[in-house]
Amino acid sequence: MREAEKQLSGVRRVVCVGSGKGGVGKSLVSATAALLLSQRSRRVGLLDLDFYGPSAHLILGAWDLMPTEDRGVVPPEIHGVRLMSIAPYIGEGPSALRGSDATHAMLELLAITRWGELDLLLVDMPPGTGDEILDVVKFIPAAEWLVVSTPSKLSIQTVRRLLLLLRETGSKIMGAIENMAEGEACVEEFCRAEGVQFLGSVPRDPKVERAIGRPELLLRTEFARRLEAIVRKLK
Ligand SMILES: Nc1ncnc2c1ncn2[C@@H]1O[C@H](COP(=O)(O)OP(=O)(O)O)[C@@H](O)[C@H]1O
Ligand SMILES: [Mg+2]
């Protein structure tokens, strides 16, 4: 754990992108936000902690980028984003990690990764409102949380649970983003009721799918354009 702290000592801010639920756009939001920040000359890292469905390397088109080994592991850089994921280590097979193995893998990844100096490290969180959150809170106590929700009641309900847990652990909650917005301001209303800052909404954008794995194309989508307005708030 001390090792993890040391490796993060040059990182000014750690922002975890969480939702509690899968399929709401955490990976897409965190990867696109990393690209946008890098374009704004921020030194930015992206850590994919979804060991069951790592996606960041797919979104950034970094399938074959291997970290280099040098007194630990140096993340490869893609479009200016330093990316760390277990994907290059596990290949295409299923990753049948038990809970305690996932905890070990997370700690190991944090202990070996040499991030260097970063303005911001975005963490793409796995779904779940249990161990995966508690582990990150424990290993990265300074982490701030950016919550993603779709307008669906199912997503909002899970986010409510996540917020309870984060509050219980004394974590800092930056705010919430509504993804795949449909016009009704459900997430904004929810944020008001919960006393959480609403950071803005991004629409469902059918052009996103073609842009997976093609960062230049992804940056030109309406999705990215709208996310940019939110990312500007992440100094
Ligand atoms: N705003 C959006 N418009 C269109 N497709 C989206 C949007 N947000 C997410 N998606 C798509 O929905 C799926 C789930 O997104 P993903 O980022 O993998 O969610 P999570 O990481 O929360 O499980 C992906 O196929 C992704 O490309
Ligand atoms: Mg994901």
Beta strands 172-181 and 144-149, pairing class: parallel
Amino acid in the structure at residue 127: P
pTM, entire model: 0.96
pLDDT value at residue 65: 85
Task: Evaluate: CB of 222 within 6 angstroms of ligand 1.
Answer: no
CA of 235 to the centre of ligand 1 (A): 24
CA of 44 to the centre of ligand 2 (A): 18
Has residue 93 got a pLDDT over 90?
Answer: no
Closest ligand relative to 207 C-alpha: 1
Q: Distance of CA 39 to CAs 79, 85, 210, 223, Å?
A: 8, 21, 21, 16
CA of 124 to the centre of ligand 2 (A): 7
Task: Evaluate: CB of 218 within 6 angstroms of ligand 1.
Answer: no
Task: Evaluate: CB of 208 within 6 angstroms of ligand 1.
Answer: yes
- Are 149 and 19 spatial neighbours (Cβ–Cβ below 8 Å)? yes
> Cβ–Cβ contacts within 10 Å for residue 126, how many?
23
87: CB partners within 8 A, 6+ apart: 48, 54, 56, 57
Percent of the chain's residues with pLDDT above 70: 97
228: nearest Cα among 190, 206, 200, 187? 200
**Taking ligand 2, which is a single-atom ion, which protein residues have CB atoms under 5 Å away?**
26-27, 50, 55
Beta strands 120-124 and 81-84, pairing class: unpaired
Of 59-73, 98-112, 161-175, which has the strongest mean pLDDT? 161-175
- pLDDT averaged over every residue in the chain: 94
More reliable by pLDDT, 197 or 67:
197
pLDDT value at residue 208: 98
Q: Domain ranges in the chain?
A: 2-231
Amino acid in the structure at residue 165: L
Least confident range of 41-45, 93-97, 163-167: 93-97
pLDDT category, 235, cuts 50, 70, 90?
low
Has residue 11 got a pLDDT over 70?
Answer: yes
pLDDT value at residue 137: 96
179: nearest Cα among 147, 150, 200, 154? 150
143: nearest Cα among 131, 135, 151, 155? 135
Q: Which residue is closest in CA terms to ligand 1's atom 13?
A: 23
CATH number for the segment(s) 2-231: 3.40.50.300
Greatest pairwise CA separation for the chain in angstroms: 51
More reliable by pLDDT, 212 or 104:
212
pLDDT value at residue 135: 94
pLDDT digits (tens, 9 = 90+) for 129-158: 889 999 999 999 999 999 999 999 999 999
